[in-house]
Chains A and B, each alone.
Chain A
Amino acid sequence: MRAVVTVIGKDAVGILAKVSTKCAEHNANVIEVTQSVLQDLFAMIMLVDISKLSTDFAQLADDLTALGDSMGLKIHTMHEDIFNCMHHI
């Protein structure tokens, strides 16, 4: 089982570090990271393995959203199936 973590907001130092630390706290293994900075806008998409989570999925999603709020970023954590089903036949 994998989830997609999307981080969008104003660029700052340490975004990747803080988000991956939070993932590690929940035992979510980061598999892949794509990030881009367009002018001031930071967009990062992380693919994380959630099959061995130490908490439940909702807790991880809520903690990441809260982390985002504290840094002025929007963080969405969604199961990868929603993207696969919507964009692949």
Chain B
Amino acid sequence: MINTYDVLETIRMIQDECLDIRTITMGISLLDCIDSDIDKACEKVYKKITQKAKNLVSVGEGIEKEFGIPIINKRISVTPIAIISAACKCSPVPFAKAMDRAAKDVGVNLIGGYSALVQKGFSAGDIELIKSIPEALSSTERVCSSVNVGSTKTGINLDACKIMGKIIRECAEKTVDSACFGAAKLVVFCNAVEDNPFMAGAFHGVGEPDCMINVGVSGPGVVRAALKKYPDADITQIADVIKKISYKITRVGQLVGVTASQRLGVPFGIVDLSLAPTPAVGDSVAHILEEIGLEKCGTHGTTAALALLNDAVKKGGVMACSRIGGLSGAFIPVSEDAGMIDAAKSGTLSIEKLEAMTAVCSVGLDMIVVPGDTEADTLAAIIADEAAIGMVNSKTTAVRIIPAIGKDVGDELDWGGLFGCGPVMPLKKESPSKFINRGGQIPAPLHSLKN
């Protein structure tokens, strides 16, 4: 017999504490779509995506109904387009348009993989793709782009950092009318993962099978509600409470992933053990940190509390699912988290603190709005800093930063929906140009003599 307490707890988690499955993402390999004729290649891309994902949305909606749990996004990731477009020797923008068309026809809200992997240098197709990102993102609606500029094994491609600084600015400038939204669909990675289900950085790695299903879970509200019941517990108990609740959250991810993969006839890949916030009230990672005992997120102690939260989420989640992957950890996107927005507006949460936080949690500087007059070299230096944290700590880091063209500190950009709104955060004024313009490769770090 089903236990009454358990049933009511599950229902409360879903109804009152915003428990949801953040995304079911279908990864599709496009390696068999390569053709030197770009029109033929684009047609193959469109056909493969629409054929593989034709039932993705309806199956997702069926599972939502059956288990009574919302599945917020159904999405698609594809092989990095720079690999597919290399043989065409021309601008790969038509690929973005084919992806966009396919995404609209199957009904997914975002499609990721307009990407290039250049951590050690540029191969054929990489530069063309990177240069075309602003046009691709401004002329499509649902396409997301990412570029990997560094890794622990290769070091950091500083030339790529420099170019990406310019590309981010161009993306923002080309989409001024939609609150610079182009830059919000572009992620610059270090140690990018091949099975990430979360946008905007999802792509389907070349080591992955032809098609698979990955799931990203959520549930900051559930964690906070669980901690609320222990106002005086010591920090070890707090870690235990987070582990237990994250086990429950992740079990649902596993169930949904396995069910979706059976119904779609596609192998199940991984569950991303994530705490992904939304701007909705009661769905904030910052508020968990405040529940742990910080007056405001961003104050001293934030890094330690986040490290504990991130680690406990993984420990709880590991046992709950068969395979773990993706970015796995707590996300800290500023504009998508009501508590982060508050903390940034009040000045308690600075970009320097966010950088420190990225050393102990999932991903990196995410959805941060900076002044519109920020130089491309400064953006490149922010990318290099963040990549260095990822490279040295053998973790994924990323930069998704939005220059608010024509705006300055005190203003904000508002996209609504899951992307939320972000206050313009101040940056240092001194120039890093000489460093960035040296170009070349920052060598890979030593893995002994650790201090």
Q: Which residues of A contact B (CB under 8 A)?
A: 4, 6, 8, 32, 34, 36, 43, 45, 47, 57-58, 61, 74, 76-87, 89
By a CB distance below 8 angstroms, the chain A residues around B248 are 86-87
By a CB distance below 8 angstroms, the chain A residues around B3 are 87
By a CB distance below 8 angstroms, the chain A residues around B7 are 4, 6, 45, 83
1/0 per position for B1-15, CB-CB distance to A under 8 A?
Answer: 111101111110001
With A32-B1, A34-B4, A87-B248 known as contacts, the answer to whether A82 contacts B10 (CB < 8 A) is yes
- B68's closest neighbor in chain A, by CB? A78
* 13 further A-B pairs in the complex, CB-CB below 8 A; given A76-B68, A85-B252, A86-B6: A4-B2, A34-B4, A36-B4, A45-B2, A47-B1, A76-B15, A78-B10, A78-B67, A82-B10, A82-B255, A84-B2, A85-B254, A87-B6
1/0 per position for B61-103, CB-CB distance to A under 8 A?
Answer: 0100111110000000000000000000000000000000000
Is B185 at the interface (CB under 8 A from chain A)? no
A59 to B389, CA, bound (A): 51
A-B contact pairs, 26 of them (CB 8 A): A6-B11, A43-B4, A43-B8, A57-B65, A57-B66, A58-B65, A58-B66, A61-B65, A61-B66, A61-B68, A76-B15, A77-B68, A78-B10, A78-B11, A78-B66, A78-B68, A83-B2, A83-B6, A83-B10, A85-B252, A85-B254, A86-B6, A86-B10, A86-B252, A87-B3, A87-B6
By a CB distance below 8 angstroms, the chain B residues around A57 are 65-66
Interface size class of B (residues with CB under 8 A): 20 to 34
Is B251 at the interface (CB under 8 A from chain A)? yes
With A4-B7, A45-B7, A76-B68 known as contacts, the answer to whether A82 contacts B252 (CB < 8 A) is yes
Which 5 residue pairs across A and B have the least CB separation, nearest first?
A: A78-B68, A87-B6, A82-B67, A58-B65, A85-B251
A47 touches B6 (CB 8 A): no
- A5's closest neighbor in chain B, by CB? B7
B251 touches A79 (CB 8 A): no
With A80-B2, A83-B7 known as contacts, the answer to whether A58 contacts B251 (CB < 8 A) is no
Q: Which residues of B contact A (CB under 8 A)?
A: 1-4, 6-11, 15, 62, 65-69, 248, 251-252, 254-255, 319
A37 to B435, CA, bound (A): 71
CB proximity of A74 to chain B, nearest CB, Å? 8
- B248's closest neighbor in chain A, by CB? A86
A43 to B66, CA, bound (A): 21
A22 to B1, CA, bound (A): 22
- A80's closest neighbor in chain B, by CB? B2
A84 to B65, CA, bound (A): 17
A86 touches B251 (CB 8 A): yes
A32 to B1, CA, bound (A): 8
By a CB distance below 8 angstroms, the chain A residues around B11 are 6, 8, 76, 78
B1 touches A58 (CB 8 A): no
A6 touches B69 (CB 8 A): no
CB proximity of B283 to chain A, nearest CB, Å? 19
B255 touches A85 (CB 8 A): yes
